Structure 1
């Protein structure tokens, strides 16, 4: 084994969050929509094994993407749902298996809002909108005021079944990101207008969740540096949102960007020679001492180390790199420095790359990733067929009829 250098020692340093919880190293598996729940919001053996693989692989924290707080507004029918009627035994097994080796495991508390999956939802966002193919209804002030309690109840379920923290999803164009964005948020009440007003519901959710889970349970948040959409969240407003978050009890701020708004290009599908949001992190660092995590574009150990060395970043978020190599943390922490061999797709259809990575996640969860060798078209077909079948299950379970 290659002897670790001072760079790998930097990656391997633990960090105590403001709540007192300790993350054992600086490498985090950032949230991805794994689409591995059972179609009724429950955890599965395949999903449990996936996160166990990442814990075995040495990551300090893994975040489970798109865990829904309200089954009426899911991102996809393969999402987990933190509800009282969920299979709590399966959730406990997932939390226990994913927290071996001192790893943390946090569900990302999500609500898709206006981007809720149409076959199983009637989307509602901050405001009623019709932009091209995108349409959604608007939430009443009463519905908005109910959100903190909904998030708090989901967080308490997460804590009760053994998850070691939660992340509030306020990025990538989903509900709380929509509140932040003037493109989606046209409200005239206390939840719309200035960036302070657009942040109000997020602050209320944080306060309610903190009151529910107590002072020592980690609460993170994922927020956009920009929507990358004309008329959307600007970097200036995003920095003001960081200033506002600095006055809350948040323990970890993850910086990302982009949106799944129809027609918007995902930053993860763009060409880049390095991490996407480091410059924003440098500016954010001047506004808060809350630990910062940056996700997007990390492809090499050297990039991760240099991001930490600059002092603006406390944690490096790995998504697709951790799918290509589930053992990537162990490799980098021990000086092996294996770099992921990312596949290249020529003229992929929209969403096609996401489908391919999602099917690779399934292979990891069944310990068949060593034999994974399917093309983009086949991955899309399997992905879409699986979602179609789960939509039927979702509708039967949750009886979405409003």
Structure 2
């Protein structure tokens, strides 16, 4: 354990990324599917206000999830679409209000692949799947070879509208993560089989994104430590992915875990009280010099301090804790050991916690968090109603 007198100094330290960009401290708001877009791919005033609050709360880096370049494969109808047809003025308003106080704002570049939201997409992944709870078409070789340029175009658009970096999403069961997972990827060509081949498209995406944005623009990546599914990506293979990424121009590796594959365990299941994936991060640290960020299960300042002080990770990613208190970084940076009041419910409902935290995000963005009080069934109802309304708008805006 680090002495309390030294803790605020550790979290306050700047981090210089390989590209030269500087993060002002060691705390990040990790990417979450805040799903606050307007249903037509644009950020809303509530979403802009939310990220403005996080920047004002002292965070060094906020990452927006999900930002898609291709409207055919969204994770939710509240996702953002950023391409040449987007309303760039709205995005510029977003970024200008969220990079205050020296905070960075990065776009998480996503593509849901086989897990694309059915009401507004025709899911397509590395291989065709026909399971009871998951069906998708398989991608052609041309589909795959178009991906690097699609990600590169989206990254360049993000730079143009004022994002200060991008994070390539290769975790949580979405498209690039699907290529890594034997459960999703049954291909026998150069994009399937060995872990090296399954990782090939990710390395191609990294190369094209870097070429598009230049050497001094931050490019990070989110990867799974494992899928936490039998037959999925293992930690052994995930460490090989780290080895491959270490040889690229990536500036930050965000380690997480789990997947939205039907029936998958939540990240917290089978883990200690937190932080999650720390043992994997220790092994990853021994094979890469790329700065590491660890996301999942950080609830107390001493957990963050110890993770940074140990040298295992360079950044700590905060998710739900930042939804409960957007000013949490300022508290921890001052040496306060304050812990947010995490909600407790007598009985959980599938999807209930995700819905509750999403509705809490909306309340934060609308400056009414002090009035927020929802039970899980009500949160799910409101969450599903919002998705249905925005799905209707999405289908009109982006017909398949």
TM class by smaller structure: over 0.9
How many corresponding residue pairs? 397
2:199 partner SS: helix
The 8 Å contact of residues 349 and 376 in structure 2, kept in 1 or not, is answered as: no
Hey, what does 2:183 align to over in structure 1?
A: 183
Normalization by structure 2: what TM-score? 0.98
Residues 324 and 340, structure 1, Cα contact 8 Å, conserved in 2: yes
Q: Which residue of 2 aligns with 1:322?
A: 322
**2:237 corresponding residue in structure 1:** 237
Instruction: Report the CA distance between 1:345 and its aligned residue.
Output: 2.0
How far did residue 270 of structure 1 move? 6.8
Segments of 4+ in structure 1 off by > 4 A? 268-271
Task: Provide structure 2 residue ranges, at least 5 long, that are not aligned to the other structure.
Answer: none
Q: Which residue of 2 aligns with 1:13?
A: 13
Looking at structure 1, the residues matched to 268 and 204 of structure 2 have their Cα atoms a distance apart, in angstroms, of 30
Q: C-alpha displacement at 1:132, in angstroms?
A: 2.8
Alignment pair present for 1:305 and 2:342: no
Give the Cα separation in 1 of the matches to 2:115 and 2:153: 22
C-alpha contact (below 8 Å) 2:301/2:337 kept by paired residues = yes
Superposed CA offset, 1:18-50 (max 9, x none): 000000000000001111110000011110000
Rounded to whole Å, the distance in 2 between the matches of 1:119 and 1:397 is 14
- CA RMSD across the alignment: 1.1
- Corresponding residue number in structure 1 for 2:93: 93
SS in 2 for 1:178: helix
Aligned ranges 1:290-301 → 2 under 5 Å: 290-301=290-301
- Equivalent in the alignment of 2:163: 163
Which SS does the other structure have where 2:109 is aligned?
Answer: strand
Q: Which segment is superposed worse, 126-135 or 141-150?
A: 126-135
Within 5 Å, give how 1:343-358 maps onto structure 2.
Answer: 343-358=343-358
> 2:154 maps to which residue?
154
- Could you say if the C-alpha distance between residues 106 and 392 of structure 1 is closer, same or farther in structure 2, counting changes exceeding 3 Å? same
Residue aligning to 1:369: 369
Q: Which residue in the other structure is 2:53 paired with?
A: 53
Q: Deviations over 1:134-182 (max 9, x none)?
A: 1111000000000001001100110000000000000000000000001
Query: C-alpha displacement at 1:262, in angstroms?
Result: 1.1
What whole-Å deviation, never above 9, does each CA across 1:48-105 have from its counterpart, x for those lacking one? 0000000000000000111112110000000011111111111001111110000000
User: Is 1:36 aligned to 2:22, yes or no?
Assistant: no
Distance 1:303 1:137 in 2: 43
SS in structure 1 opposite 2:20?
Answer: coil
Show CA shifts across 1:345-390 (max 9, x none).
2332211100000000001101111111111111111110010011
8 Å Cα contact 1:43-1:87 kept in structure 2: no
Contact persistence 2:206–2:248 (CA under 8 A): yes
Structure 1: distance between partners of 2:271 and 2:258: 14
Q: Aligned partners of 2:127 and 2:335: how far apart in 1?
A: 50
- What pairs with 1:248-327 in structure 2 (closer than 5 Å)? 248-268=248-268, 272-327=272-327
- SS of residue paired to 1:293: strand
Residues 271-309 of structure 1 deviation map (CA, whole Å, 9 limit, x = unaligned):
742201111011000110000000001110011111112
- Give me the whole-angstrom Cα distance separating, in 2, the residues matched to 1:5 and 1:112: 44
Cα distance in structure 2, aligned partners of 1:399 and 1:270: 42
Kindly indicate whether residue 341 of structure 2 is the aligned counterpart of residue 341 of structure 1.
Answer: yes
Instruction: Report how far residue 208 of structure 1 moved.
Output: 0.3
The correspondence of residues 130-145 of structure 1 with structure 2, limited to 5 A, is 130-145=130-145
Distance of 2:95 and 2:243 partners within structure 1: 32
Question: TM-score normalized by structure 1?
Answer: 0.97
Q: Supply the distance in 1 between the matched residues of 2:5 and 2:38 (Cα, whole angstroms).
A: 43
Runs of 5+ unmatched residues, structure 1? none
Distance in structure 2 (CA, Å) of the matches to 1:268 and 1:353 = 13
Matches of 2:270 and 2:79, distance apart in 1: 26
Assess if the C-alpha contact under 8 Å between 2:229 and 2:265 holds in 1. no
Post-superposition offset of 1:268:
4.5
